Amino acid sequence: MNNTLPSDMSSNTAARILVVDDSEKNRNLLAMFLTRLGYSASKAEGGAAALAMLDQQTFDLVLLDMIMPEIDGLSALKLIRERYLINELPVIMVTGMSEVEGITRALELGANDYISKPFQKDILLSRVRMQLDICRLYKDVKTSEERYSLAFSASSDGLWDWDIVTGKVFFSDHWHEMMGISPNCAFDSTEQWFDRVHPDDITALRLAIEEHLKDPHRLVKREYRALHEDGSYRWMQCRARALFSDSGTPLRMTGAQTDISASKTFDPITGLPNAAVFMDRLQRVYAHARRTGSAANLALFSLSMNHKEKVTSALGPAGYEKLTSAIARRLSETTAVDDYLAQLKEPAFVSQLADNRFMILLEGVPQESAELLKIGEQIQKSLASPFAIFDETVYCTTSIGIALPSGANDAVDELIQDAISAESIARKTGEDITHIYNPLLHGKALDHLRLENELRHAIGNGELRAFYQPIVSSADGRLAGSESLVRWQHPERGLLSPDHFIPIAESAGLINAIDLWMFRESCQQYREWVSNGASPKMFISVNISVQGLGIAWADQVLNAVKEFGIPPSSIHLEITESIFAGDIESIITLLEQLVDLGISFAIDDFGTGYSCFSYLRRLPASYLKIDKAFIDDVVDSEKARLLVNNIIHMAHDLGMKIIAEGVESREQAEILEALGSDYFQGYYFSRPVAAADCVMMVPAGLQA
């Protein structure tokens, strides 16, 4: 072993390295190796312990294991990056050789580098040295840049320099000018400055400064309102950094103050009044209209561009901002020159409420649907002409929602929400649609929202139910396995089928939790069946969403398999053809890794979605499930039989077995058996039933 002192150890202080691994053996091995090389190595047994140590101590580098219980490496990395920039605290991930997707995700989250287990000492030493050198160089360059940056900003920012030892503060002439104070006045203390900070903002500003004086890594960057000499409050942004002695004692603090009042009232991209100004205007106008009885003459338009994601993907963030700015200009021009709107007593007030959402407040308009829709169509017509963005011709469509004051929306927040709800319905209806808020349709949207909120609590409240539908072998008509199907025992609506809540779960990001609950429930039930005498050759088939496919989900599946002692060969995971619409290469790699461990896959609902035969031959699937839509006509239609026959032969040629879904009659079963189907599933054999009704069930099948 090379015992030469590392280059990064040339100073008197050894670089401090935190080793994070749930394996005591791995922790000790890495720490011992680093210590022998002269580094100061500390150990943490997991992500939570590591984060606690980082809160209390300062480290120069972290060696972080990828897979750990409770807080895994990726989660810990994400939390570390919330505290330290990538060049402030290097993180080297320690991974297994097969964790390709995890490595990619780690680098995206801000990992500096990675090493593979079992690690090679020379490679580890080289990468540790390199990251420490890069970090040191970054900090030196950053310190130099900040000095020059502060000096350069003196021409536009108000500078201040606080001698912490004496308590005196120097404020530049431009700082005095921002506050409307004469440079000749006696203004030289932090308390004089703090006395001019708005009462609602002073606590946060003081706290930011105090935290920085305790921890140099927490730089001061705060926005606050400062009292100008003319009696008004101006929005300021303060940025500051302190100088510390070798012993860590703060000596002085230098800062820059910038007047950001304009950005607090106008959107920096479009130049339109921002949300704060819009809310103030709407509240004042709405209150005045209600006092004077003229609320019936108000109308609020909510407008957004359709397909924002596609536009951003094509033009990039800079192009999207340029397009948004162009839309804002055209909206302002249209509302100012339109023949109808120009006649209004008050000009249309156009504002940007949020990203990709404009608000137009009209006063003095009749609440007649035809007239309001005409205004919306005229606005959309003005935006239909193409925009020139970076030499590209861009067409965009919009959706507009209109809300009118009523007894149901006494508050401006409710009026805004009504306009946004109407806009959402317009977007779902088509392109360039204007829709006026309708309380009846809003009720349906509200019901959807309530159901989503109730679904979020369904798992923890024990409301999900597992039902099982037998899968029968065509060879002997006996039970070969069962498909697990989720139901929701809603406390008020009764037992709900997946059609009522799975689409909501997918759109709300809850499907992964439901899939995992269903998988664990199925594993536990399988173990009970086998313990009670069922054949261990029986398999369980569980549906998973394409949204759930990933290393983290796979780890949870494998943990459940170990926990319940289930043979991996008894597990079938069903995936739909929507898999072909995702990142197919990454998915294939993940599936192959699970197949290597003994887990089987079935392609569900084949022929109803994104069928892609070039990928089908590459997927490591062992089973193909023919959808019920093909089975329904197999008795009466020669074309249907020919199609099913071709699918069966194709699957067999690719080494896959066939499961025919939706078999509802003996005739269908006999035809499918003759065509070569390996398994059957459907009402002819059994409906989905609760576990208690499925235990040891051996349906008569074809022998009936």
DSSP lists the bridge partners of residue 623 as 602, 657
Beta strands in 119-164 (DSSP E): 158-163
Quick check: is 667 catalytic? Answer: no
Name the pairing type of β-strands 479-490 and 464-473. Answer: antiparallel
- Dihedral (CA of 421, 427, 429, 432) sign: positive
Whether omega before 118 lies within 30 degrees of 0, making that bond cis, reads yes
Start-end of H helices in 431-550: 439-458, 498-507, 511-531
- Nearest Cα residue to 619 out of 638, 632, 634, 606: 606
307 in Cβ contact with 399 (< 8 Å): no
User: Whole-angstrom Cα distance, residue 158 to residue 190?
Assistant: 15
Q: Which residues contact 273 (CB under 8 A, 6 or more apart)?
A: 265, 266, 267, 281, 349, 350, 351, 352
Q: Output the CA–CA distances (angstroms, integers) from residue 221 to 147, 212, 217, 523, in the order listed.
A: 16, 10, 12, 52
User: Whole-angstrom Cα distance, residue 350 to residue 359?
Assistant: 6
Catalytic one of 592, 661, 667, 673: 661
Q: Output the CA–CA distances (angstroms, integers) from residue 400 to 360, 429, 438, in the order listed.
A: 10, 11, 14
- Nearest Cα residue to 241 out of 250, 232, 249, 233: 250
Q: Name the DSSP letter for residue 14.
A: P
551 in Cβ contact with 99 (< 8 Å): yes
CA 170 to chain centre: 46
Residue with token string 């989250």:
109
Q: Structure tokens of 54?
A: 């980082």
Phi (first) and psi of residue 178, to 5 degrees: -60, -35
- Nearest Cα residue to 412 out of 294, 302, 303, 282: 282
**Using CB atoms within 10 A of its CB, is residue 404 exposed (0-12), middle (13-18) or buried (19+)?**
buried
User: Whole-angstrom Cα distance, residue 531 to residue 601?
Assistant: 25
DSSP string of 307-328, one letter each residue = -HHHHHHHHHHHHHHHHHHHHH
* b/e sequence 522-551, b meaning 16+ C-beta within 10 Å: bbbbbeebbeeebeeebbbbbbbbbbbbbb
DSSP lists the bridge partners of residue 222 as 238
- Nearest Cα residue to 330 out of 338, 340, 339, 320: 338
User: Whole-angstrom Cα distance, residue 62 to residue 31?
Assistant: 11
470 in Cβ contact with 528 (< 8 Å): no
- Please give the span between the terminal C-alpha atoms of the chain, in angstroms, as a whole number: 75
**Using CB atoms within 10 A of its CB, is residue 152 exposed (0-12), middle (13-18) or buried (19+)?**
exposed
H-run or E-run covering 18: strand 16-20
Which three-class secondary structure state does DSSP give residue 356?
coil
* Positions marked catalytic: 661
